[in-house]
Structure 1
Amino acid sequence: MTLFSKLFFGQTPLKAIVSSCAVLMLSGCMLAPGSFVKSDEAAPGLDNKIKFYNITPQVIAENKLMRQPATDLVANTSFEQEQKDYDYRVGRGDVLNITVWEHPELTIPAGSMRSPEDAGTWVHNDGRIFYPYIGWLEVEGLKVTEIRYLLAHHLGKYIEKPQVDVTVASFRSQRIYVTGEVQKPGVLPVTNVPTSLIEAINASGGLTEAANWEQVSLLRDGKEQKFSLRKLYQQGNTEQNIMLKRNDVLHVARNDDNKVFVLGEVRQPKSYLMGRNGMSLAEALAEAGGLYEQTADASGVFVIRQAAADSGRLADVFQLNAKNATALIMAEQFQLQQRDVIYVTAAPVARWNRVISQLLPSITGLYSIGRFQSDLK
């Protein structure tokens, strides 16, 4: 009989089985799934790369990483002044409506068959218009008040004190492009009414459900600027609203990256999109169906967050002891950031039960083989 047979199929096979299972069970904590993370245990070499926090009312109140941003109103005085000083400048392709009062021969009426755009004076590709008695006149880049003055000045050589009125019948020269997660992406004309970032989004039908309120970008003259609609709407930060100009490209990103990951001992472990109002730790756990009572360790709720680039660390880890009665309040006050990972650890009993459930098939098989060997003798 070999050594293996003596150990497992000798005179006392049941003792060998029990001894083998005992060895396996002693190592069960290393083999069992659902590892238990402790805040005071870090992998060798990572002591300076990971910083641990216990989520307490004091930490939430003091730590800027967890406190919800203040909602103080921020006035954008430069935007208000720019809005007051705004005046449209005529460009190539625009159609002007020119009226000389008491001189109908110099005014082309629109009539019932023609719109003002059709009856107006078109600004040609060289930036000039042609007008009777005056000839060619450079108007590109001028305000309508300046064009009115030039026409009156030149017509004054032929008409005594001419009264001239100039309006833009059709705005065709300048455009703003709105792309991304808006209901009607497309092109908006620049008109004599100033267009702000918010007005451009509203004119495009508003945001879609998949829009990321934190990721609105503006491409202007080859440079990109970032804006947050959440800061504008919820905090009244008007610095996030600017005046748009010709050839601006406004893009609203999708919220694919604006998500958190809930893993471990919860009923529905998966990724969850953060809403336009953000998401708290309590909301994330509720979305996941709550803790799995039979297996979860309520004292081991962790939030793993990528550390700031200039911190020299890999991650910041926050631990919540949900066994405490104040845990729900603290979880509601703890505001998550995108790409946060929430992990709920397994209770020791649950880990032990998992080891047993994994070993049962082997134990049953070994016991059956041992009994069969005994019956042969």
Structure 2
Amino acid sequence: MSRQVFGSLAVIGTLMLSACGVAYQSPSVNPMTGGADSKVRVLEITPESVMVANRSTYSPKELPGVFFATAGGGSTPRGAGAAPEPVIDYQNRPGALETRVPPALPELPYTIGVGDVLLLATPQVGSTVEQLTGLLAASNARQGYTVQDDGAIAIPNVGRVQVSGMTLEEAESRLFQRLVENQIDPTFSLEVSQFNSKRVSIGGAVAQPTVAPITLTPLYLDAALSAAGGVTAQDLDYASVRIYRDGTIYQIPLRELYSDRSLARIQLTDGDAVFVDTEYELDLAQAYFAERIRLAEFQQDARVAALNELTAEVNIRRGALNEARDNYMTRLELDSVDRDYVYLAGEVGEQSRYPLPFGKTASLADALYSSSGVPTRTGNVAEIYVLRGSPDPREFGALTAWQLDGRNATNFLLATRFQLRPNDVIFVAEQPVTKWNRVITQITPSLINTAAAQTLN
């Protein structure tokens, strides 16, 4: 059979089969134009129509609270006193951290403690000639004395004088009495030259962790953070300043600290531990405060058992959380979790269903490129549709076809802003030449078989 005859048979066969409606059927979006019975509306995706489409209400499904819970917090360890109460609710990730402010301290004068250095100044004694020349008229003998372990300072010709726990005024009165008893001129002045007995430690997200002394002037929270070089936390969403005092953890969100001046003026006391934490979980703070607790274990052995019990409880809770998370992931793999899906059909990389993510919305571009995008060889980029049904159950057959014309590549930017909703269908039509090639591919074997049979006859 000649090539011209074969080509004529192909054309005639194609026309005949097409007329019968059996040559090739492919899906397409066919809106009914005009009339009140129109069920399909085709709307071009434009910046304005994207705003209209995104107005529909939708709340993405959330991961279960076990994915936001931590192993910190728990019951009171036996035999070790009250443990720090949980700072935050671990059921779900909160919108903002809770503010827990320590109680106000009473205004008391500074009391001398072990390790402080006291400076005792007495008049300098000189010769009559020197006094007349005025060379020593304003000179004083200044001597420093360290408060020793027993709370006393040792002064030559006077002996040991107990000063620990006294204010400067009380210490001066005690020294005056001892000088008089030893027949020494009681003309002197007393001051603290080195403050070593009362300290506050500052650590975490600060420029330089340090230990700040408490002096005659009260030490406030802002001054303590400045002494450590300031806060270095960048993300303020879950950054907080935690204060460990007398077995209790207090918490001040960093945003609240910056906006409320009264929080910056929280007075600190001896033994406070300040920790700037940048994490939602308490792991870093727990390690820091555990270190502070271990320092006290030299004086209280019962803390060892308390820490072991707390660690065991944390490990048990962490294991339970990991098991719950693994079980959920297994259910997710077995498709036994209620999910929202979008379906991809037509000329896409792979016809499939796209699960909408947890906790956020997905765009048309997210779904398209999760399936390798639109194959430009077969797909008609001018006819990319998002088919969305009416939320009204009385209008089950009514739907809107949002059309994206990808011939202008800049329109794909709109695809990144078009939000998807559950049960949307993304459909990409085929190119006209693709449809023709598929028709030819289907009828060619039949024509060849027919021609071969005629040749044999």
What TM-score do the two structures reach when normalised by structure 2? 0.41
What TM-score do the two structures reach when normalised by structure 1? 0.48
Greater percentage in strand: 1
